[in-house]
Amino acid sequence: MRSILSIFVAATAYAQLAATAYAQFTPAQKAGNLDSFELVWSTVRDRSPDATLHGLNWQAVHDSTRPRIADARSMDEVRGILTDMLAKLKTSHYAIIASDLYEPLADSAPAADATPGFTPVVIDGKAVVGSVEPDSPAARAGIHPGMVLDGIDGAKVSGMLRLADNVKDQETQRIVARSVARKLDGPADEPVQLDLVDENGATKHIAIDRTQAKGKLVSFGNLPATRLLFQSRRLDGGAGYIRFNEFLDPVSIMPQFEAAVTEFAKAPGIILDLRGNPGGIGVMAMGIAGFFIDKAGQKLGEMKMREATLKFVIFPRAETYAGPLAILVDAGSASTTEILAQGLQDLKRARIFGTRTAGAALPSDIIRLPNGDGFQYAQASYTSDRGRVLEGNGVTPDVEVKQTQQALAMGHDLVIDAAEQWINSLGK
């Protein structure tokens, strides 16, 4: 009798646990998830650049997926189901963004007033300090490249990075990296609490102020507002160095770019650093390419939408730079960045250094779903002039160079070093 009673009690407890698991969502939350599913599904149906959806029976996908959403027990499960559905498209720029990651990226999120003055990069699954602005709060607090960012205001960074690692999706990984960086920013009158690990493995808790964020605040479409940064300088070996963080606001970027190219007219080479640049306005790639291509009629490729096709024709400038051009890329380089890099590589006008790009060259939009998550979706397809499809492939560097935490800690940027060595070797 005792055994039977024990079995009964265990079975009852299991049933209660199962019921609790199934009851995790309130009716309103469950409805929100179903509405989110319907919005994702219909957006793909109506907005995908490929009207045939690669031959998929999208209605059948709907009918088999909706019951799974209805029976889901957690938000992770809901996101996983939606991600699996989108993966059937085998196309980049489709991603479900968890609400806590979407918030700092949302177009409704207030723009950051201030920053601690350093930029993290994701290396081997860690958020590593990549660069520190001189005389910034971070610099004064002793933060230096190579340190690992472990926590922001008490929240572990590893949790956010684990999401990208679990999903194994380039788009999600880029979103996570940007979200980590934006979580550092905030009001100027509120210090940020940071946990960092130095090169010796020692953990340091640092509370530092924020300083006024640099760069012009710009926005594009429904994408979140961002601060646009441009820098140019001459390296010790004489090469010109140009970097900007997004292809936005051509009214300000293009004159600065032209001035930099003019300044470096007699430089032994130019290094264009597009690492971490997620893209932006596609036609800017044609304008940038025009500074380095002197033959009319050449193309970077073409972009096809449901209603039209855009050919990325290069219009050479009156004065072009004919010297060696090195373009630096990494997994954070996407969209317009990839179009420019692949196009100039196809034309044998640039040598590419770094690591393979995101393989996400499509223009996209991000919307908020009823359940609070974000949804990014593609609006066009892109093929390079030599017929290379970048989606899922990315731009393969001519010279693969991977940045390391150790090199950053020693004050070296291995990718810039490799590009500079190539430029200098051509002058010998």
* pLDDT at residue 122, as a whole number: 79
Whether 103 is covered by a domain: the verdict is: no
Whether 100 is covered by a domain: the verdict is: no
Are residue 251 and residue 385 in the same domain, yes or no? yes
Are residue 82 and residue 125 in the same domain, yes or no? no
Q: Which residues pair with 378 in a beta bridge?
A: 364
Q: Which of 43, 59, 90 is the last residue of a domain?
A: 90
φ/ψ of residue 172, rounded to 5? -65, -40
Element (H, E) at 119: strand 118-123
**Mean of pLDDT values over 2-14:** 37
**Per-residue model confidence as pLDDT tens digits over 151-182:** 999 888 887 776 555 544 555 566 677 778 77
The CATH number of residue 319's host domain is 3.90.226.10
**Per-residue model confidence as pLDDT tens digits over 37-49:** 999 999 999 988 8
Residue span of the structural domain in which 149 resides: 113-212
* pLDDT at residue 109, as a whole number: 47
Looking at residue 158, what DSSP letter applies? H
Q: Which residues pair with 123 in a beta bridge?
A: 126
**Per-residue model confidence as pLDDT tens digits over 256-269:** 999 999 999 999 99
* pLDDT at residue 173, as a whole number: 60
Q: Which of 150, 177, 212 is the last residue of a domain?
A: 212
- Separation of alpha carbons 39 and 36, rounded Å: 5
Are residue 240 and residue 387 in the same domain, yes or no? yes
Are residue 129 and residue 262 in the same domain, yes or no? no
Nearest to 318 by CA among 258, 255, 228, 364: 258
In this structure, of 42-56, 205-219, 397-411, the range with the lowest mean pLDDT score is 205-219
Q: Which of 181, 212, 243 is the last residue of a domain?
A: 212
**Per-residue model confidence as pLDDT tens digits over 117-127:** 888 887 777 88
Q: How many domains does the chain have?
A: 3
Half-sphere exposure of 64 (CA within 13 A, CB side): 9
- Separation of alpha carbons 326 and 267, rounded Å: 13
Are residue 159 and residue 128 in the same domain, yes or no? yes
Are residue 152 and residue 251 in the same domain, yes or no? no
Q: Are strands 148-152 and 155-156 parallel, antiparallel or unpaired?
A: antiparallel
Output the six-digit token pair for 29: 């939350």
Could you tell me which residue, 215 or 51, shows the higher pLDDT? 51
Are residue 295 and residue 347 in the same domain, yes or no? yes
Whether 345 is covered by a domain: the verdict is: yes
Query: How far from 56 is each of 44, 51, 52, 307, CA to CA, in Å?
Result: 12, 10, 7, 20
Whether 370 is covered by a domain: the verdict is: no
* pLDDT at residue 23, as a whole number: 46
Whether 104 is covered by a domain: the verdict is: no
Residue 102 pLDDT greater than 70, yes or no: no
The CATH number of residue 162's host domain is 2.30.42.10
Task: Please tell me which of 15-24, 297-306, 347-356 the model is most confident about, judged by mean pLDDT.
Answer: 347-356
Element (H, E) at 242: strand 240-244
Contact (CB, 8 A) for 294 and 321: no
